[in-house]
Amino acid sequence: MSANVPPRSRARADLMRIYAAAVAAVEPRRVMARALNGDADTAENVPVIIERANGVRLLAVGKAAIGMAAAAEERLGDRIIEGLAIAPASLASGADAAALR
């Protein structure tokens, strides 16, 4: 930023960048993809477990359920035998929710 920018504006801009990074870090699709790929902490064995499984039963619950289920379906496809995503009704719209129906 320029030296002419008031400190208060600079601090606000910094806080907005920090907030955006924090939100992106916990985005359900991204977090689920990392876990399914074994890239998340404590998820190293997930790809092996999925590979050895005869099928996957998916259960996603909560505000992030739609995004998590969509990411799992995208990654696992036909390996999912059955699934259930339970989310607040206010979140049951959009492309991810429509794709899961």
Task: State the pLDDT at residue 24.
Answer: 85
Rounded Cα distance between 11 and 34, Å, is 31
Q: 96, exposed or middle or buried, with CB in 10 Å at 0-12, 13-18, 19+?
A: buried
Whether the full predicted model's pTM is greater than 0.85, yes or no, is no
Q: What is the CA radius of gyration of the chain?
A: 18
Task: State the pLDDT at residue 7.
Answer: 73
| pLDDT of the chain, 101 residues: tens digit per residue | 456 767 778 888 999 999 999 988 889 988 999 999 999 888 999 999 999 999 999 999 999 999 999 999 999 999 999 999 999 988 766 655 555 55
Of 31, 101, 39, 40, the residue nearest 72 (C-alpha): 31
Of 34, 30, 33, 84, the residue nearest 57 (C-alpha): 84
